[in-house]
Chains A and B, each alone.
Chain A
Amino acid sequence: MIRALMTAASGMKAQQMQVDTIANNIANVNTSAFKKNELAFREMLYETLREPGAPTAADAMSPTGLQVGSGAEIASSLKIFKQGEVAPTGSRFDMAIAGQGFFRILLGSGEFRYTRDGAFRPDGNGQLVTAEGLPLDPPVRIPSDAIEVIIGQDGIVSTLKAEGQAPEQLTNISLFRFPNPTGLKAQGGNLYSETASSGQAQQAAPGFDGTGSIRQGYQERSNVQVVDELVSLILAQRNYEINSRAIKVSDEMLQQVNNMIR
């Protein structure tokens, strides 16, 4: 019965983690380019009290054994990199990626981070930076005399210096793709870093190698579906509840043992 107590407690812990994950998804329903998290559960160790196929007599064996599981645990968390809805924002420096690619961001330390949040703004020098002021890499500098900036689907940035003139090609924005994006490490602030499991970032021009095209003036919304999250939340709550019932029953049975001899 102590085993049943522990087993049910492991179920409650797993469901609690599930609620934590769902709460984080729901909290980020308005975060641009947020990718929802999912948990993968797995069974814990089984205790074999009697081997299946153990001999019961000289010429007989038991067709089934006695194996009791010891609960559930979290195997891993998964980021679901499904495309979020792409919505117009009206800001000409906003970029959304329709595809699998990432923008690369340069940190002050010289390290790289990757993001799908394309809400860039020019800083004092005209360089495109994220909301935290981290520059896009390879860098894009918008000249101060530009009256219009055009970012093509293929990542080519052109500027218009004066009305009626031909646009001048400035630079290219590159996108990056990973063999296994679920293996990226989420760093908070919509940034991801490369890991051994994600594989090396592969640079490509937008629209090539499945990176996807860039949409100027659009932002990718979070890919969290509130209805799905609510259904999962209800399920997690009920599963939590029923595991707590199992604890209560084991407790009552233990109490029975204590009261047996008076």
Chain B
Amino acid sequence: MNQGLYDGVAAMSSAERRLDSIASNLANLGVNGFKRHGAATRSFDAVLRGVTTRQVATKTTIDFQQGTLRPTGNNLDLALAGEGFFVVETPQGEAYTRDGQFRLDDQGVLQTHQGYPVAWDGSRGTIDAVGDEVRVDPGGQVWQGGTSIGRLKLVNFDSPDQLRPNRNGLLTAPAAIDDAAYTAEVRQGYLESANVNAVDEMVAMISAQRSFESAARMLSMIDQTYRRLLSSQR
């Protein structure tokens, strides 16, 4: 009966984790290039001191499905259609993002809204901030007034699951990750919306709430059983 109590608590805490990640997805509905985090709960058999017990564990994965592209008409808004990431130069090294809401600083350096420069393929291209309009073709080549300035660096990874968000909402990669070919095309004047579907999240939220509820119910039933057992001795 003791084991039942622990199982109930494990079920409740995993429902709680699921709700936390759903709430985070919902809060980020308005974040460009946001990728939802899916929480999966699985059960496994753990053998402890010769006794097999059923345990549950929760893990989160980033769902890299394409978000909807939304036209903004701004020249420096870039969206990626397909698999791949923009590369950002942070003081801690390269970071990756799908949020292409870029801007120019006073030196003509293309940067993210966090203020980090965007990485280029090869040497960093300098945009003449007071010059002609900037054009970016689907291959990431940047043009200004008919001359090519350079190409934005795009990357993709063999297992993007291993990317993890850092404190600025950018993704960082572990050292051991393998590169893969990117299929992404750059769309100028568009932004990628978060790939969070409100309906799916609502359904997941209800299911988390109900599984929490039934686990709580199970706990109070075990509690009642104990109570009956104790009162029968009196």
Contacts and interface: CB of A to CB of B under 8 A. Distances in A.
Nearest to A243: B26
B23 interface: yes
A112 interface: no
A217 interface: no
A17 B181 CA distance: 39
B105 A180 contact: yes
Interface stretch (B31-39, B47-55, B85-93, B148-156): B31-39
B202 A242 contact: yes
Interface residues of B, number: 63
B129 A180 contact: yes
Contacts of B201: 242
A250 B206 CA distance: 11
Contacts of A257: 216
B60 A43 contact: no
Q: Which of A10, A50, A183, A242 gathers the greatest number of chain B CB atoms within 10 Å?
A: A242
B69 interface: no
A11 B27 contact: yes
Given A53-B162, A72-B28, A65 B59 contact: yes
A222 to B, nearest CB: 15
Interface string B102-120: 0111111000011000000
Given A245-B205, A253-B19, A257-B216, A179 B108 contact: yes
A4 B19 contact: yes
Given A257-B216, A260-B216, A69 B165 contact: yes
A66 interface: yes
Contacts of A250: 19, 23
A75 B27 contact: no
A143 B100 CA distance: 52
B60 A67 contact: yes
Contacts of A75: 113-114
B94 interface: no
Q: Which of A44, A69, A180, A262 gathers the greatest number of chain B CB atoms within 10 Å?
A: A69
A67 B130 contact: no
Contacts of B223: 260-261
Q: Which of A4, A177, A183 gathers the greatest number of chain B CB atoms within 10 Å?
A: A4
Contact of A68 (B15, B20, B106): B20
B66 interface: no
A74 to B, nearest CB: 10
Main secondary structure of the interface of B (DSSP, over half): mixed
Nearest to B19: A4
A63 B61 CA distance: 9
Given A210-B130, A253-B16, A82 B73 contact: yes
Interface string A224-262: 000000000001101100110110011011001100111
Interface string A164-191: 0000000000000111101100000000
Interface in A50-68: 50, 52-53, 62-68
Given A180-B129, A261-B223, A66 B19 contact: no
Nearest to B113: A40
A260 B144 CA distance: 66
A257 B24 CA distance: 22
A30 to B, nearest CB: 21
A98 B163 CA distance: 45
A67 B62 CA distance: 9
Given A65-B164, A183-B105, A202 B130 contact: yes
Contacts of A15: 30
A27 interface: no
A84 to B, nearest CB: 13
B106 to A, nearest CB: 3
A10 B27 contact: yes
Contacts of A246: 19, 22-23, 26-27, 205
A76 interface: yes
Interface of B: 15-17, 19-32, 34, 37, 58-61, 72-74, 99, 101, 103-108, 113-114, 129-132, 159, 161-162, 164-169, 174, 198, 201-202, 205-206, 208-209, 212-213, 216, 219-220, 223
Interface of A: 1, 3-5, 7-8, 10-11, 14-15, 18, 38, 40-46, 48-50, 52-53, 62-72, 75-76, 78, 80, 82, 100, 177-180, 182-183, 196-200, 202, 209-210, 235-236, 238-239, 242-243, 245-246, 249-250, 252-253, 256-257, 260-262
7 contacts: A4-B20, A43-B31, A64-B59, A64-B162, A65-B60, A72-B29, A256-B212
